[in-house]
Chain A
């Protein structure tokens, strides 16, 4: 698997979520994802970018154009240095929220992509990587 292009976006406030959506859309179009797949990836990225602002105090989003033996894909990695997630299983469950939201962000985003990798360490931060292949 090769990364053919990458870019990083700093996300400090809610307003930057819009920028993340636009950049992810651009990468998804370049990877020739179908319209529905683009929409799914952009929506998942929007959820996770907002989570990063609300719970992680902001962070960095890394966008990568991937190529796996000719099959294009896009990976988006969200990294924050927030408090971390104490109970990942609970956080992934639909309807669970610690911040007044709908509690669909993590579980919902996972359903919208092919790969979802979550790493979190208490007091250190959270990293979530999502990938959608063509």
Chain B
């Protein structure tokens, strides 16, 4: 079965979705990502959806699930690169991806993850 590759970048995991995601592929990604977070002790997950031409409610729910599961496993999720037409359609569909952080580019996404990670470390030092 096809799998979406997960790249490890230091403390973060990067997933670039480059295919039209069928449902089983989305569910496999959910399983693989949570395993990778635990295996590598990842602190952040970046999901690049700039190649996705649509996000329907199933994919939206899967992205939301990934973010929720990551949070419980002590990792932040940032979705990057959403196309404007996809954003317009998602909101009209009724899906606003609550609890999912977004950034326009991978660079900004990494910045967001670094920022929240440093915030945590500073917080620990202060105690």
Q: CB within 8 Å of B: which residues of A?
A: 14-15, 17-18, 21-22, 25, 35-36, 38-40, 42-43, 46-47, 50, 94, 101-102, 104-105, 107-109, 111-112
Q: Mark B17-55, 1 if CB is under 8 A from A, else 0.
A: 000101110000000000000000000000000000111
Q: How far is the CA of A22 from the CA of B53 in the complex (A)?
A: 10
Chain B window 50-72, contacts with chain A (Cβ cutoff 8 Å), 1 for yes, 0 for no: 00011111101100000000000
Q: Is the CB of B54 within 8 A of A46?
A: yes
Knowing A21-B54, A50-B23, A111-B93, the reply to whether A102 touches B88 (Cβ < 8 A) is no
**A38 (CB) vs chain B CBs: closest residue:** B85
* Count of residues in B whose CB is under 8 Å from the partner chain: 22
CB neighbours (8 Å) of B89 from chain A are: 36, 39-40, 43, 112
Q: Does A43 contact B24, Cβ atoms closer than 8 Å?
A: no
Main secondary structure, interface of A, reads: helix
Besides A39-B53, A50-B23, A104-B94, 8 more A-B contacts (Cβ < 8 Å) are: A15-B22, A40-B88, A43-B93, A47-B56, A47-B57, A47-B93, A105-B57, A108-B93
A108 to B85, CA, bound (A): 16
Considering only CB atoms, which chain B residue lies closest to A37 in the complex?
B85
- Could you tell me the distance between the alpha carbons of A109 and B57 in the complex, rounded to whole angstroms? 10
CB–CB A112/B56 < 8 A: no
Q: With A and B bound together, what is the CA distance between A107 and B23 in angstroms?
A: 21
Query: Are A42 and B53 touching (Cβ within 8 A)?
Result: yes
Q: Decide yes or no whether B92 CB sits under 8 A from chain A.
A: yes
**Shortest Cβ distance from A60 into chain B, in angstroms?**
19
